[in-house]
Amino acid sequence: MTIGTTVLGYPRIGPDRELKRALERYWAGRIDASALLATGRDLRRRTWCELRDAGLDSIPSNTFSLYDHVLDTAELFGVLPARPGLSPLDTYFAAARGVQDAPALEMTKWFDTNYHYLVPELGPDAEFTLAGTKPLDEYREARALGIETRPVLVGPVTFLLLSKATGGFAPLDLLDALLPRYADLLAKLHDEGVEWVQLDEPAFAADRTEAELNALIRAYHRLGKALSRPKLLVAGYFGGLGRGLGVLARAPIDALAVDLVTDESFVDAVAAEPALRDKEVLAGVVDGRNVWRTDPQRALSRAATLLGVAKSVSVSTSCSLLHVPYDVSREDLPLRLKKRLAFARQKVDEVVLLGRALRGAPAGAAVADEAEPADAHVRARLAALLPEHTVRAPYAQRAAAQRAALGLPPLPTTTIGSFPQTAEVRRARAAHRAGTLDDAGYADAMRAEIERVVRLQEDLGLDVLVHGEPERNDMVQYFAEQLAGFAATAHGWVQSYGSRCVRPPILHGDVSRPAPMTVSWAKYAQSLTAKPVKGMLTGPVTILAWSFVRDDQPLAETARQVALAIRDEVHDLEAAGIRVVQVDEPALRELLPLRRARHEEYFAWAVSAFRLATSGIADATQIHTHMCYSEFGEVLPAIDALDADVTSIEAARSKMEVLTDLNAGGFGRGVGPGVYDIHSPRVPSAAEVASLLRTAVGAVPASRVWVNPDCGLKTRGYAEVEPALRNLVAAAREVRAEL
Ligand code: GLN
Ligand code: ZN
């Protein structure tokens, strides 16, 4: 049998974030493991039934995860750190979240998405075993419901490429040790009656070396030639497969899923591949990454290009639907916008309809082109901008002005912006939203919280303070709600990592800032203290990265509109007496195209958007930026080009390795390597922080080093944050004294 219409994966957090709630209750000790597992089972059942009822020919399984599918794969093959005394479930969560005596695995972005996976650590003598049964269990679970499914696995080459080798070898060196375990798993699935298995190899959407392509050849020859195996579907997504296409077309596998959305020119490469003639091809023509309705005519013509090239052609999504919300029908949005939208549930219907159309049924009308009216004022302002509007004075001149204006000690301490969001703060926000707390009452509650946070920071002895962001639900949504051109959803949650979800706003029209967005809070915080308070904004690239963005004009143009709105806010903060402004760009790397050939074009617009947002201010006004990742070799030139005075970066989990990159890149401005891993509940000791700081001042001149946590503190509790920050300040003092 062919696979037929399908989706490569589906959201798993639950339409009402049921999994998030259950996880948090389990971690808090309020429910037991069996209650948590029951929630998972219920969510899986609902997904499978929904996909079956929608009329898909093939339904994926093993797309559920209690935390992350890469972590699941590490567990499946027995390479999670052992935690004697903990149950298998808690060993799994210990790897994800850390425990007091052992930090968590590193976490990083899943390709160019805002989903984060845990990075498996493999030593040279890593021993793979088929330690788990999850794909088998979920297959059986679905079959017990009368639903035949296609287990989905992270492919062996992608799994190794995403892992981190501890010790001088490349993870791919372990391929020959890993493949037999995959073969064992395939044999077990085959014995169980599984017809198709999907192996995901998204790593081949990026540039790959000869050795990596050879690994792909070896892997699928080995697995394809296995005597006892289900039929194999290999899925490439997040872009074209490059030379991986030829490799997979010639491999002894049965089907190939290709992304025909991210890079439209890939359609021609697939159509020109003669070796596909004995394979089923899944044409990924429904965008798994965005929320716009598929144009049926365009999608169909792309899929139809492959008819005759492959043995058979079916319709699928471009990637897993993990990256879009569940269901747009639940949203209360302006009708004109809503008609243009499709979330996961609607995309399944699109796949089914397109699949039928490919077999000759009517395809449905093209999406009516209901372009948004342009904002003439925004367009005119952008047209009038000159190159000098994006340039600041030379750094040395600014640094001197800032030293004089701010009077900070060496190794100044600061935080990344948010403080823990207490139940009280959340309650006030919810009551305000519900209309039971009026504007004045809400402002009082926020001011009380800001005052508490400022007092706490003074007490802790931090040098550059923040207002704590109590008024923000999310760093992008907060701005989107106040900018023209955006719409917010009520239920549009998307998993970011583990139990963390975000609700990306929808950028559908021209963007502008009708009124100041953060000035009154920052000004109030500054009125409470003589220490500088850092204004806190989200940068244009990150606003785009964490929104669903209109696709009817170039991204660069949309970025300029957002940048102009942020620039207005920066200027108003400065006018209100704020001397330090942080413009967060944690997503700078996330939007980096996976193929190097596209980097230059991306950097050009991303950097100029940031500079447009952060220039036109006094030399003495200090611009900070913040990024949440540690491997940034490739974005290093761009980070330098942003020209921020201070850049804070994630570094605790990778033990300051990032500073070596920075130095090699000749980065010459302020840098704050995160010395406290806020993704873990663990409290670092002062000695531990001091030792990280000594590493930092060994790698970068001490005059440029800042001391700060890895990221914002909003997801943590005060019970951890207070002692951790106390240790951080103590460590800074200790190392300062050694300078
Ligand atoms: N200023 C934001 C905060 O502290 C930054 C968050 C982020 O980088 N993701 O919450
Ligand atoms: Zn961050």
List pLDDT tens digits, range 521-535.
Answer: 999 999 999 999 999
List pLDDT tens digits, range 537-570.
Answer: 999 999 999 999 998 899 999 999 999 999 999 9
Across the strands, what pairs with 418? 468
Average pLDDT over residues 138-144: 98
- The total number of residues shown for the chain amounts to 739
The rounded mean pLDDT for the chain is 95
Across the strands, what pairs with 673? 649
Distance of CA 688 from the midpoint of ligand 1 (Å): 23
DSSP 413: B
Q: 8, 198 in Cβ contact below 8 A? A: yes
Contacts of 703 (CB under 8 A, 6+ apart): 410
Please name which ligand lies nearest the alpha carbon of 474: 1
Closest ligand 1 atom, CA of 417? 4
Out of 590, 647, 677, 711, mutate this one to test ligand 1's pocket (max ligand atoms within 8 Å of CB): namely: 711
Q: 64, 13 in Cβ contact below 8 A? A: no
Average pLDDT over residues 599-610: 96
Whether the per-residue pLDDT at 364 is higher than 80: the answer is no
Catalytic residue check, 679: yes
Distance of CA 585 from the midpoint of ligand 2 (Å): 8
Q: 260, 302 in Cβ contact below 8 A? A: yes
Q: 195, 156 in Cβ contact below 8 A? A: no
Angle at 712 (CA atoms; ends 709, 716), nearest 5 degrees: 95
Lowest-confidence segment of 146-160, 481-495, 617-631 by average pLDDT? 617-631
319 annotated to a ligand binding site: no
Closest ligand 1 atom, CA of 416? 4
Rounded to two decimals, the ipTM of the complex is 0.99
Q: Which residue has the tokens 């302002």?
A: 381
Structure tokens at 350: 């699109």
List pLDDT tens digits, range 655-690.
Answer: 777 787 777 777 899 999 999 999 888 999 999 999
Out of 109, 626, 676, mutate this one to test ligand 1's pocket (max ligand atoms within 8 Å of CB): namely: 626
Closest ligand 1 atom, CA of 627? 8
Across the strands, what pairs with 549? 507
Q: Which residue has the tokens 């198709």?
A: 196
Q: How far apart are CA 540 and CA 402, in angstroms?
A: 25
Distance of CA 710 from the midpoint of ligand 1 (Å): 9
Closest ligand 1 atom, CA of 714? 10
Whether the per-residue pLDDT at 628 is higher than 90: the answer is no
CA 48 to chain centre: 26
Please name which ligand lies nearest the alpha carbon of 415: 1
Please name which ligand lies nearest the alpha carbon of 652: 2
Contacts of 119 (CB under 8 A, 6+ apart): 70, 105, 106, 107, 108, 162, 163, 164
Closest by CA to 669, choosing from 399, 470, 478, 466, is 399
Closest ligand 1 atom, CA of 536? 1
109 annotated to a ligand binding site: yes
Distance of CA 295 from the midpoint of ligand 2 (Å): 36
Q: 542, 584 in Cβ contact below 8 A? A: yes
Question: How many angstroms separate the most distant Cα atoms in the chain?
Answer: 77
Q: How far apart are CA 313 and CA 303, in angstroms?
A: 7
Average pLDDT over residues 157-183: 95
Residues with CB under 6 A from ligand 1: 416-418, 469, 475, 536, 584, 586, 626, 628, 711-712, 714
What are the E-state strand segments in 292-377? Answer: 312-317
Distance of CA 405 from the midpoint of ligand 2 (Å): 27
Q: 316, 351 in Cβ contact below 8 A? A: yes
CA 262 to chain centre: 17
273 annotated to a ligand binding site: no
Q: How far apart are CA 129 and CA 180, in angstroms?
A: 9
Distance of CA 466 from the midpoint of ligand 1 (Å): 12
Q: 671, 659 in Cβ contact below 8 A? A: yes
Using a 10 angstrom Cβ sphere, with 0-12 exposed, 13-18 middle and 19 or more buried, the burial of residue 481 is middle
Return the pLDDT at 369.
57
List pLDDT tens digits, range 173-185.
Answer: 999 999 999 999 9
Pair type for strands 646-649 and 506-512: unpaired
Return the pLDDT at 303.
97
List pLDDT tens digits, range 243-269.
Answer: 999 999 999 999 999 999 999 899 999
Out of 479, 500, 521, 536, mutate this one to test ligand 1's pocket (max ligand atoms within 8 Å of CB): namely: 536
**Residue 182: what residue type?**
Y
Return the pLDDT at 168.
83
What are the E-state strand segments in 49-129? Answer: 59-61, 107-109, 116-118, 121-122
Closest ligand 1 atom, CA of 472? 10
**Residue 657: what residue type?**
E
306 annotated to a ligand binding site: no
Whole-number Cα distances in Å, 422 to 414, 426, 427, 618, 681? 20, 6, 9, 36, 16
DSSP H or E run through 94: helix 88-97
Q: Which residues of 39-74 are buried (b: 16+ CB within 10 A; e: fewer)?
A: bbeebbeebbebbbebebebbbbbbbbbbbbbbbbb
628 annotated to a ligand binding site: yes
Whether the per-residue pLDDT at 283 is higher than 90: the answer is yes
CA dihedral sign of residues 481, 487, 492, 494: negative
Average pLDDT over residues 465-474: 95
pTM: 0.91
Average pLDDT over residues 109-119: 94
**Residue 293: what residue type?**
R
566 annotated to a ligand binding site: no
Whether the per-residue pLDDT at 109 is higher than 70: the answer is yes
Return the pLDDT at 630.
63
Closest CA to ligand 1's atom 4 = 712
3-class DSSP assignment, residue 100: coil
- Percentage of the residues of the chain whose pLDDT score is greater than 70: 98
Distance of CA 625 from the midpoint of ligand 1 (Å): 10
Whether the per-residue pLDDT at 273 is higher than 90: the answer is yes
Q: How far apart are CA 670 and CA 537, in angstroms?
A: 19
3-class DSSP assignment, residue 705: strand
Across the strands, what pairs with 313? 281
Closest by CA to 584, choosing from 512, 657, 642, is 642
69, 116, 323, 679: the active-site residue: 679
Closest by CA to 251, choosing from 273, 282, 268, is 273
Out of 107, 114, 116, 416, mutate this one to test ligand 1's pocket (max ligand atoms within 8 Å of CB): namely: 416
Average pLDDT over residues 487-503: 95
Return the pLDDT at 534.
98
Contacts of 37 (CB under 8 A, 6+ apart): none
Closest CA to ligand 1's atom 3 = 712
Average pLDDT over residues 452-481: 96
3-class DSSP assignment, residue 492: coil
List pLDDT tens digits, range 532-545.
Answer: 999 999 999 999 99
